[in-house]
Structure 1
């Protein structure tokens, strides 16, 4: 198996056509077809379905595609690590952010990277936390912001912040505020719209509820933050999330964010890197920058509901 075969296969999948991939790669289509056939013969599996409309990945092809992307990224990172200067890092760095964190971190991190490391190309990917953990293990992303659920032993972890979860609802449908917000029992008794269990925030809510002898019930599950916000604004229910994803709606008065107590709910936000794949100079620089940006956001109060934790040196 050759690296060019991996590049060819990824290009075919990305373009959905042998002819378009051949044109992009500046390779004759018969040669591209031959390399694909050799790859499938070596793997002993069909990777693509071919039709007049183009190509689609088989189940085996979908699995191989993810591995091929990870391998090609690690090769690119290895080249970059050899050529980079420690004092002027450059190259591409991919950082994974959960949906519920990107509203607080994404733009400030992009801005800080452009200002401090103009030769670094920062790529941000927004995913469910379960997907991000798998991508970090495989090398698809260099760094990922995750939540400490006691299962982060495969990674090098640096705490960033303790983030409070609040009861979020449409402003005109807010329950009475007892002066401290709303009790967890009262919050759970309302119609809730929550992410599924594969989303990092949901297991935390369920764990705190169980510890208090409570349980969620009649939950509407929505994994998209955008759709979840639309459902809340349509009056379908409320949610329990950090404030960051709905900060604009809260500031404009469309939604309210009530503190939860008896007990409160929070989660530990951590920056993670792989224990097995070394960071390039550029990735190490971005790691330090993430810690700096998170600290600035906490101190300024811009990251609403987040309390700064000691981040140490970073992954």
Structure 2
């Protein structure tokens, strides 16, 4: 198996066509087809379905595509690491951000990266936390912001902030107009809740704190998208337990209301993670330092609501 075969396969899968991939790669289509056939023979599986409209990945092809992408990225990172200067880091760095964090961190990080490291290409990817963890393991992202749930020992970690979770609902909901401005966890759990699935985001933390307090999380509407979850809140379909950052605009204009939770309060530890097995490039190390710096600045300026720097 050769690197060029991996590169060819990824290009074909990305373009959905042998002819378009051949044009992009500047290779004759018969030669490209031959390389693909040799790769499939070596693996002993069919990677692509040929159709009149183009090509589609088989189940085996979808699995191989993820590995091929990760391998090609690690090779590119290795080349970059050899060529980089510690004083002027350059190259490409991919940073994964959870959906509930990107609203607070993404734009400030991009601005700071362009100002301090103009020779680094910072690529941000927004994903569910469970997906980000898998991508960090495989090397598809260099760094990822995750939440410390006690399952991060496989990564090198650096704490960023402790983020408070609030009870958030439609501004006209009964829970929003009730006094006082705080609510107990038991009361919050009695509401019709809209939460991410068990493997993502705040849900494991909520379940853990509730269990420790002798409380149960009842039936919930599970939505693994911040955008759709916000739409459900605005439609007054229920309430949620989230940090304030992803719904800050809606809170400011009065469409949603947030109440602090007590007895007990709920917070989560936000950490920057990198692989223990893949050495960081100078560029990745520089972006890691920048993430910590920007996080601290946002907390100090009150621009990351409910977050305290660690």
Q: Do they superpose with TM above 0.5? A: yes
Verify the 8 A CA contact 1:102 1:126 in the aligned structure 2. Answer: yes
Moved over 3 A (4+): 176-180
Q: Provide the TM-score with structure 1 as the length reference.
A: 0.96
In the alignment, structure 1 segments of 5+ residues that lack a partner are 310-315
Report Cα offsets for 1:7-40 as digits up to 9, x if no partner.
0000001011111111111111111100000000
Looking at structure 1, the residues matched to 146 and 178 of structure 2 have their Cα atoms a distance apart, in angstroms, of: 31
Looking at structure 2, the residues matched to 134 and 218 of structure 1 have their Cα atoms a distance apart, in angstroms, of: 28
Looking at structure 2, the residues matched to 50 and 244 of structure 1 have their Cα atoms a distance apart, in angstroms, of: 46
Q: Match for residue 208 of structure 1?
A: 209
Q: Match for residue 42 of structure 1?
A: 42
Equivalent runs, 1:149-188 vs 2, <5 Å: 149-173=149-173, 175=175, 176-179=177-180, 181-188=182-189
Q: Match for residue 199 of structure 2?
A: 198
Q: Match for residue 99 of structure 1?
A: 99
1:56 partner SS: strand
2:172 partner SS: helix
Verify the 8 A CA contact 1:162 1:267 in the aligned structure 2. Answer: yes
Q: Provide the TM-score with structure 2 as the length reference.
A: 0.98
Equivalent runs, 1:1-315 vs 2, <5 Å: 1-173=1-173, 175=175, 176-179=177-180, 181-309=182-310
Report Cα offsets for 1:251-286 as digits up to 9, x if no partner.
111111111111111110000011110111110000
2:162 partner SS: strand
1:91, distance to aligned residue in structure 2 (A): 0.7
Report Cα offsets for 1:170-189 as digits up to 9, x if no partner.
11115255435111111111
Report Cα offsets for 1:22-70 as digits up to 9, x if no partner.
1111111111100000000011111111111111111111111000000
Looking at structure 1, the residues matched to 182 and 267 of structure 2 have their Cα atoms a distance apart, in angstroms, of: 15
Looking at structure 2, the residues matched to 179 and 300 of structure 1 have their Cα atoms a distance apart, in angstroms, of: 27
1:101 partner SS: helix
Question: 6-15 or 215-224: which moved more?
Answer: 215-224
Verify the 8 A CA contact 1:174 1:256 in the aligned structure 2. Answer: no
Looking at structure 2, the residues matched to 92 and 157 of structure 1 have their Cα atoms a distance apart, in angstroms, of: 21
Report Cα offsets for 1:208-265 as digits up to 9, x if no partner.
1111111111210100100000010011011101111101111111111111111111
Looking at structure 2, the residues matched to 178 and 238 of structure 1 have their Cα atoms a distance apart, in angstroms, of: 16
Verify the 8 A CA contact 1:142 1:279 in the aligned structure 2. Answer: yes
Looking at structure 1, the residues matched to 127 and 10 of structure 2 have their Cα atoms a distance apart, in angstroms, of: 21
Verify the 8 A CA contact 1:196 1:221 in the aligned structure 2. Answer: yes
RMSD: 1.0
1:172 partner SS: coil
Looking at structure 1, the residues matched to 229 and 11 of structure 2 have their Cα atoms a distance apart, in angstroms, of: 34
Looking at structure 1, the residues matched to 264 and 179 of structure 2 have their Cα atoms a distance apart, in angstroms, of: 14
Looking at structure 2, the residues matched to 218 and 83 of structure 1 have their Cα atoms a distance apart, in angstroms, of: 54
In the alignment, structure 2 segments of 5+ residues that lack a partner are none
Question: 194-203 or 69-78: which moved more?
Answer: 194-203
Aligned residues: 309
Looking at structure 2, the residues matched to 67 and 184 of structure 1 have their Cα atoms a distance apart, in angstroms, of: 43
Looking at structure 2, the residues matched to 187 and 97 of structure 1 have their Cα atoms a distance apart, in angstroms, of: 27
Verify the 8 A CA contact 1:159 1:269 in the aligned structure 2. Answer: yes
2:169 partner SS: strand
